[in-house]
Structure 1
């Protein structure tokens, strides 16, 4: 555990970028070999849109990273936050508690709020317009949503009182988890079901991408599945019945054109939308 802390305390930006690229590449190869759905689409065109949006997320997080660093250092220096107030415990348990809480605020809570708040939903909607969900969909976020999510992550750091090494570890696990649970892969049903009791499995998350309510408003988690089960937002749907996308943007010219995706938050809301 000490080696992990030492590594993530000083992890270079190049290593974090390598993890992101490696994850996409590995899951891309796996989903091509063992696809869940055999999509008929221009895969590279689809990927180029999602990768562009991924790059905007990376840039935004890079430009604002100093806020996370200052926040984490401040919590430790001022003995502020949940982790700072807890009694001494084994390092492994300390890390697990911190990761669970960061995942609750930085992934589950922000995701739930985005679905329940009309303004924030306008930005998150871009993620749900994808009708060909694969590993590149993982970071298909409007730049506005990237700022929203960064804000909640910073809030999580302050509330949890997490040191910077834990923040870097959380972000790394979060990237891998979202690439995994968005990947167009099909695990054996029993394996997926067992995984879903601990982490967000591919079948579990894909229910969230079903094009109609109430399934769209379920399974908000990213790394750990405990929060959906604990707060009653877990739902199951046979993967054969899942239809990706959002029912208000069914046309390719709306969900498969970068210009329109960037403009969606500023277009007139549609009355039959999720919110």
Structure 2
């Protein structure tokens, strides 16, 4: 069955834009229903107003990425035509091996590394604050990215394609899985401990990623993964925290007027930089 994957190659190699949109919208609706039925936190907030802010940034992400998509296609086509990238070191690999290896490389470079660097480089962190400033993390938070961060992530995705040499069917498969897994691990739900312990050995779960959104360091600087949890375990950035002790947001932007209005969120990267307090830097 693993070898009979031509259907997967054909589908994701030519996946219609309508299907990609359906994956985005369908994922949000599915996890929206789940978290409304079995929420981790019973937030006392205006859910639709909160979602409206995050949907605005979802649209800006789409508007940034859509006109630049040809760069991804050109990069992948060039890599395949010139046998450039890790996947071409070993030609004629079975499709399932290509898929697994390609997804791992794309996730490492395009997601984990991009995320880690944004936490290390001040100018990039300024744009990423918008994502962390959300004090009511749910499935809509997954796509809450400043337009500037969308460009940063796009650049790393392009780099990941060139390093991996991934054909477009793997790129589209990766992007589809990335959207759904991001919506899943941001959702306001918690897995049973036994299930989380098993699933999080390979995939990033809500239990794992919620820790990343705790409002103080060192938890903010942990659990960077999007699809695969192995990168945080490998690079020593994996942390755990009792789910009930998590407080969402970022300690430098705790006021509602700063973290829940589109106008201010767009301006944060260009405002005076705020460092985490010494007290919060030392909290564990």
Q: TM-score, normalised by structure 1?
A: 0.98
Q: Does 1:204 align with 2:208?
A: yes
Which of 253, 259, 263 lines up with 2:263 in the alignment? 259
2:233 is equivalent to residue 229 of structure 1: yes
Q: CA deviation at 1:86?
A: 2.1
Count of residue correspondences: 275
Instruction: Give distance in 2, aligned partners of 1:88 and 1:3.
Output: 17
1:110 to 107, 114, 117: 114
Match of 2:220 among 216, 235, 241: 216
**Alpha-carbon deviations, 1:231-262, whole Å to 9, x = none?**
11100111011110000111110101110000
The separation in 1 between residues aligned to 2:167 and 2:93, in whole angstroms, is 15
- For 2:41, the equivalent position in structure 1 comes to 37
1:153 lines up with 2:157 in the alignment: yes
Deviation at 1:197, TM superposition (A): 0.4
- The alpha-carbon deviation at position 89 of structure 1 amounts to 2.8
Of residues 119, 122, 125, the one that matches 2:129 is 125
Partner of 1:75: 79
State the distance in 2 between where 1:213 and 1:186 align: 22
Point out the more displaced range, 35-44 or 88-97. Answer: 88-97
Whether 1:18 and 2:22 are equivalent positions in the alignment is yes
- SS at structure 2 position matched to 1:71: helix
Q: Deviations over 1:211-249 (max 9, x none)?
A: 000000000000000100011110011101111000011
State the match for 1:134 in structure 2.
138
1:143 aligned residue? 147
3-state SS of paired residue (2:68): helix
> Displacement of 1:87 after TM fit?
4.4
Q: Structure 1: how far apart are the matches of 2:188 and 2:273? A: 30
Report the equivalent of 1:162: 166
Name the CA distance, whole Å, in 2 between partners of 1:270 and 1:263. 14
In structure 1, list runs of 5 or more residues that go unmatched.
Answer: none
Deviation, structure 1 residue 271: 3.2
Shift of 1:88: 3.5
* Structure 2 portions without partners, runs of 5+: none
